[in-house]
């Protein structure tokens, strides 16, 4: 591709609910620009943007693909994003570096939960957008019904700039309301508007002209004076209205039949803004002040990484957008987030998995580079003499969890580094080592997300792992203040062991942790043995008493004791602390605590009853309910043990139309009947281990 000026560039995210037809739309766009000679099909696994082995196997998009194409001297970087909710991190990254959004909606299914989610993300970034109503040739498709749903759900000004000719099996083309031409077949045949649709098309065209005129002071004066607006003036007015968020143009067609796609491509370059319109604000590292970044290739370099791909053969592939300056091949840059220098090798433009070498990537454009050592998603690359940090990408919290363990010793040796590279590739994937349970836990946005991560470990890095439901990190604590003695005395010939302490155990508020205090007076416990008592107490609380879980939220105050001039030692006082802890837990009314999560659930109104009933079975507390664009929003608190499979449960209850977010809230006591079961299971597991 030739070099383009910043005003000739468009960075656009293609977003939708799963199966709305984004990938097929990309194929049609590529075909129309001559980039490919035949249309690929998702079900055949031969599309440009779905190239990952899991995408081909599952027949869904898993990664964001960068698909550039040229149209009327413009270059459009189209970011084809996954529609499946498990891969929302890919959508977040793409929208972060886009200047506009095309929302694809299925004419049969209409506005779905995924549509609402991506609309929300576009709202967060205040991005201009347009809607393409796809699959007009499908059974039960309806342009008017879909338009009404959009207006009801989002409340924006949705303005059709096209009208379909027919629907379902009779769908054969679209009317462009701006040129008042009918385009049938694959979009090349322009003809007259059918007689039966002429009046409706004329009425809608008048609405388009009015909206275009209202967006510009000069145009509205001209329009009110009765003068006719030229085609260029209408385009200018619509472009201003879209950029200001006052208007969402609605187009229609069929990606698989390639009807209406050329008009969509034309609308993208006409109405969605160039990088010139994007105001980027960066932080200067030298004084933490803010600096407004202009998309000027002669300015200081500022490039944001929005995606990382781990490849076992070529290494790490880093996707970035240049906001200012120009990225040069074979150069050196500063990673502003890490404060380290990176050597930049060969730069590329990407088309799906294809890489085209380039000497530079200019301001406003999107490129890629391989084998960066330190740089990860969300980092800023900049000039050494002008260090800047661009705002990163805010990813949602994980909602699904799985414990993983290696299949073999060889897998164990490679698992750590492979997981690190996998997490580097996908920031919504989190791997932690739970110190309480001893498990490695992988967290993600859903079961499919984790399943694909596990398969990638095997395919990309040759690491086989086994997954299971993670153990819940329970805690133990006391419910009342008690004073106990811990006395360790042992005489086996020769020097004996003697340690004697009195400890007061007091409950503390949730989240306080463990406190140790020394209240000994008069030297009843020699000063040199007090650290041993504290150390022994820490050892004891790590193992707990009820079911082997760490103890927390209490204070242990050492206030008295006695010693022997010969037999007392550090080990004796440590063991005395162990005994005091056990006695203190027994007398202090020991209970189990469980992690309770804060949960926000968004579901269509008709599923509200089922979801609330299910929450009741999960020991959840509903803290409040609200409405969001016709959906019910439930704020609740629920035990983690009940929510570990909730992603699958909610999908089943709501036909895939509900979604939720979850984060840790606090610890609460476990009901006594459940405590008994947990204690029995822990005792049984200990017996089997011994």
The model's pLDDT over 296-337, given as tens digits with 9 standing for 90+, comes to 899 999 999 999 987 666 678 999 999 999 999 999 999 999
* 16 and 156 co-located in one domain: yes
Output the six-digit token pair for 56.
């081909």
Mean pLDDT, the chain, rounded, equals 90
Would the pLDDT of 183 be above 70? yes
- Which of 554, 589, 624 is the endpoint of a domain? 589
Does residue 208 form part of some domain?
no
Q: pLDDT for 39-90, tens place per residue?
A: 877 766 778 777 777 777 788 888 899 999 999 889 999 999 998 888 889 9
- 182-213 burial code (b ≥16 CB/10 A, e <16): bbbebbeeeeebbeebeeebeebbeebbebbb
pLDDT at 288: 80
Cα 660 to Cα 316, 600, 656, distances in angstroms: 32, 5, 11
pLDDT at 14: 96
Average pLDDT over residues 195-207: 92
* 60 and 143 co-located in one domain: yes
* 418 and 455 co-located in one domain: yes
| H-type alpha helices, 155-250 | 195-214, 217-224, 231-243
Higher pLDDT, 495 or 588: 588
Q: Which of 14-18, 227-231, 413-417, 626-630 has the highest mean pLDDT?
A: 14-18
Residue 593 and residue 670 in contact, taking contact as beta carbons nearer than 8 Å:
yes
Higher pLDDT, 4 or 624: 624
Q: Which of 147, 156, 112 is nearest to 15 (CA)?
A: 112
* 139 and 255 co-located in one domain: yes
Higher pLDDT, 514 or 417: 514
Output the six-digit token pair for 84.
């499946």
Q: Give the pLDDT band (50/70/90) at residue 686.
A: confident
pLDDT at 72: 87
Q: pLDDT for 228-253, tens place per residue?
A: 888 888 999 999 999 999 999 999 99
Q: What is the residue whose two structure tokens read 């909602």?
A: 399
Q: Is 508 helix (H, G, I), strand (E, B) or coil?
A: coil
pTM for this structure?
Answer: 0.82
pLDDT at 491: 77
- Which of 466, 486, 519 is the endpoint of a domain? 466
* 580 and 636 co-located in one domain: no
Q: Which of 154-158, 514-518, 626-630 has the highest mean pLDDT?
A: 514-518
Domain residue limits at 374: 280-389
Would the pLDDT of 473 be above 80? yes
* 458 and 491 co-located in one domain: no
144-151 contacts at long range (C-beta below 8 A, 24 or more positions apart): 145/110, 146/105, 146/107, 146/110, 146/111, 147/250, 149/110, 149/111, 150/105, 150/111, 150/248, 150/250
pLDDT at 496: 84
Q: What are phi and psi of 520, to 5 degrees?
A: -80, 130
Q: Is 185 helix (H, G, I), strand (E, B) or coil?
A: coil
Does residue 352 form part of some domain?
yes
* 169 and 28 co-located in one domain: yes
CATH number at residue 442: 3.30.70.870
Does residue 303 form part of some domain?
yes
Would the pLDDT of 477 be above 80? yes
* 110 and 169 co-located in one domain: yes
Q: What are phi and psi of 677, to 5 degrees?
A: -65, -45
Would the pLDDT of 271 be above 90? yes
User: What is the number of domains present in the chain?
Assistant: 5
Q: pLDDT for 127-151, tens place per residue?
A: 999 999 999 999 999 999 999 999 9
Q: pLDDT for 504-535, tens place per residue?
A: 999 999 989 999 999 988 778 999 999 999 99
pLDDT at 616: 94
Q: pLDDT for 253-267, tens place per residue?
A: 999 999 999 999 999
* 317 and 272 co-located in one domain: no
Report the DSSP pairing between strands 65-71 and 74-80. Answer: antiparallel
| H-type alpha helices, 246-297 | 261-271
Residue 126 and residue 99 in contact, taking contact as beta carbons nearer than 8 Å:
no
CATH number at residue 346: 2.40.30.10
**DSSP state, residue 393:** -
The distance from CA 653 to its chain's CA centroid, rounded to whole angstroms, is 23
Question: How many Å apart are CA 307 and CA 316, to the nearest integer?
Answer: 10
Helix count (H) and strand count (E) of the chain?
17, 37
pLDDT at 200: 93
Residue 382 and residue 302 in contact, taking contact as beta carbons nearer than 8 Å:
yes
pLDDT at 494: 67
Q: What is the residue whose two structure tokens read 């005003």?
A: 7
pLDDT at 141: 94
Average pLDDT over residues 190-209: 91
Does residue 688 form part of some domain?
no
Does residue 560 form part of some domain?
yes
* 15 and 108 co-located in one domain: yes
CATH number at residue 104: 3.40.50.300
Question: How many Å apart are CA 335 and CA 317, to the nearest integer?
Answer: 16
Does residue 433 form part of some domain?
yes
* 28 and 157 co-located in one domain: yes
Report the DSSP pairing between strands 100-106 and 9-16. Answer: parallel
Residue 493: partners with Cβ closer than 8 Å, 6 or more residues away: none
- Which of 277, 297, 327 is the endpoint of a domain? 277
Q: What are phi and psi of 292, to 5 degrees?
A: -80, 125
* 105 and 143 co-located in one domain: yes
CATH number at residue 561: 3.30.230.10
**DSSP state, residue 569:** -
Does residue 228 form part of some domain?
no
Does residue 146 form part of some domain?
yes
pLDDT at 188: 65
Question: How many Å apart are CA 432 and CA 350, to the nearest integer?
Answer: 33
Q: Which of 419, 395, 392 is nearest to 310 (CA)?
A: 419
pLDDT at 2: 64
Output the six-digit token pair for 284.
């200067």
């Amino acid at each position: 591709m030739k070099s383009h000026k910043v005003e000739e560039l468009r960075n656009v995210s293609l977003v939708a609910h799963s199966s709305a037809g984004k990938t097929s739309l990309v194929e049609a766009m590529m075909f129309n620009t001559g980039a490919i000679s035949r249309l690929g099909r998702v079900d055949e696994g031969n599309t440009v943007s779905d190239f990952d082995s899991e995408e081909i196997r599952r027949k869904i998009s898993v990664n964001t693909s960068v698909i550039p194409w040229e149209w009327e001297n413009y270059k459009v970087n189209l970011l084809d994003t996954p529609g499946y909710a498990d891969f929302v991190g890919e959508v977040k990254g793409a929208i972060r570096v886009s200047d506009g959004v095309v929302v694809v909606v299925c004419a049969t299914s209409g506005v779905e939960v995924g549509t609402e989610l991506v609309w929300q993300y576009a709202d967060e970034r205040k991005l201009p957008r347009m809607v393409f109503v796809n699959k007009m040739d499908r059974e039960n498709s309806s342009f008017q019904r879909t338009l009404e749903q959009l207006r009801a759900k989002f409340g924006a000004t949705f303005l059709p700039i096209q009208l379909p000719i027919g629907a379902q099996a009779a769908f054969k083309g679209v009317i462009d309301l701006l040129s008042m031409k009918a385009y049938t077949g694959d979009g090349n045949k322009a003809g007259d508007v059918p007689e039966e649709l002429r009046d409706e098309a004329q009425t809608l065209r008048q609405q388009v002209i009015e909206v275009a005129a209202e967006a510009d002071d000069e145009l509205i004066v001209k329009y009110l004076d009765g003068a006719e607006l030229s085609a260029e003036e209408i385009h200018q007015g619509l472009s201003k209205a879209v950029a200001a968020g006052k208007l969402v143009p609605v187009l229609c067609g069929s990606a698989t039949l390639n009807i209406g796609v050329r008009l969509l491509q034309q609308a993208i370059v006409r109405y969605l803004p160039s990088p010139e319109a994007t105001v980027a604000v960066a932080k200067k590292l030298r004084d933490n002040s803010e600096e407004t970044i202009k998309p000027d290739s002669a300015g200081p370099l500022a490039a944001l990484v929005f995606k990382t791909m781990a490849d076992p053969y070529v290494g790490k592939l880093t996707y970035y957008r240049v906001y200012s300056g120009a990225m040069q091949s074979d150069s050196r840059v500063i990673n502003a987030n890490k404060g380290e220098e990176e050597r930049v090798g060969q730069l590329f433009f990407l088309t799906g998995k294809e890489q085209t070498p380039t000497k530079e990537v200019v301001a406003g454009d999107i490129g890629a580079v391989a084998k960066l050592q330190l740089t990860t998603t969300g980092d800023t690359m900049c000039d050494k003499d002008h260090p800047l940090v661009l705002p990163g990408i805010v990813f949602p919290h994980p909602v699904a969890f799985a414990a993983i363990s290696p299949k073999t010793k060889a897998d164990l040796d490679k698992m750590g580094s492979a997981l690190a590279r996998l997490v580097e590739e996908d920031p919504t994937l989190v791997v932690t080592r739970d110190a309480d349970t001893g498990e490695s836990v992988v967290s993600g946005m859903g079961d499919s997300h984790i399943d694909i991560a596990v398969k990638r470990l095997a395919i990309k890095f040759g690491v086989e792992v086994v997954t299971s439901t993670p153990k819940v990190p329970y805690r133990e604590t006391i419910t009342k203040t008690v004073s106990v003695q811990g006395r360790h005395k042992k005489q086996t010939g020769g020097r004996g062991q003697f340690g004697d302490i009195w400890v007061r155990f007091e409950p503390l508020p949730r989240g306080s942790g463990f406190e140790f205090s020394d209240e000994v007076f008069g030297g009843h416990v020699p000063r040199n043995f007090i650290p041993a008592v504290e150390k022994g107490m820490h050892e004891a609380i790590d193992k707990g008493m009820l079911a082997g879980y760490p103890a927390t939220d209490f204070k242990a105050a050492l206030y008295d004791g006695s010693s022997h001039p010969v037999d007392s030692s550090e080990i004796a006082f440590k063991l005395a602390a162990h005994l005091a802890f056990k006695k203190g837990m027994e007398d202090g009314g020991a209970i189990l605590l469980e992690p309770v999560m804060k949960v926000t659930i968004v579901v269509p109104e008709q599923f509200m009853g089922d979801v609330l009933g299910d929450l009741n079975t999960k020991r959840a507390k509903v803290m409040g309910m609200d409405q969001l664009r016709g959906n019910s929003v439930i704020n609740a608190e629920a035990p983690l043990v009940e929510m570990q499979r909730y992603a699958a449960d909610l999908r089943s209850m709501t036909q895939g139309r509900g979604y939720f977010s979850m984060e840790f809230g606090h610890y609460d006591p476990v009901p006594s009947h459940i405590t008994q079961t947990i204690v029995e299971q822990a005792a049984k597991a200990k017996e089997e281990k011994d």
